[in-house]
Amino acid sequence: MDRLTNGKGEISKYTLAELKKLKIGEKYEIPTLSEVFHLVNKKCTINIELKGHNTAKPVAKLIEEYVTNENWNYSHFIVSSFQYEELATFSQINSKIQLAVLTQASVEQAIDWAKEFKAQYIHPHFSLLTLDNCNFAKENGLKINTWTVNENADIEQVKKYDIEGIISDFPDRI
């Protein structure tokens, strides 16, 4: 909250009504996930990170509503998380929704979890990428999106690997 809004503290400590009163950059309201879906309107894939506990079920339900009622496809979504429990829960709820294992520590562990949860992607921090572990992930049938690559030199480095996507705060640099 402190970094992006005029609020302070943890987002989980706020009610939705309180969050809607805050501003991002003194101009924008914090959108709900449903509002993000309406804004994107199938123009690109949406990567949804499960950050909190017990977030898998409501996110899966919302995605299912958009697939059923709004003519979206499961391919419009990737659900990712660092949290083992949320990945486990999500993988049991709906295997049609693409799943990604986030990691800041170990590509090998992310691959193991991805196999366990039948995930299609791993999302390692860019500093973890090597030619060998990218090839190993591909050999295990996994796609790779890396995060948060902001500096030009880092962007150029990760472009050398056979990966699907680069997550950045500055997409115009890619």
Q: Tell me what pLDDT residue 11 has.
A: 87
Going through the chain in order, the beta strands assigned E by DSSP cover 23-24, 28-29, 46-49, 77-81, 98-103, 121-124, 143-146, 165-166
pLDDT of residue 6: 94
pTM: 0.93
**Of 157, 156, 99, nearest in space to 128 by CA:** 157
Tokens of residue 160, six digits:
């050398």
pLDDT at 95: 94
What pLDDT was estimated at residue 4? 87
Predicted local confidence at residue 3, as pLDDT: 85
Residue type, 91: S
* Residue among 79, 111, 112 nearest 95 (CA): 79
pLDDT along the chain (174 residues), means of 10: 91 93 93 97 96 96 98 98 98 97 97 98 98 97 98 97 96 94
User: Residue 42: its pLDDT value, please?
Assistant: 97
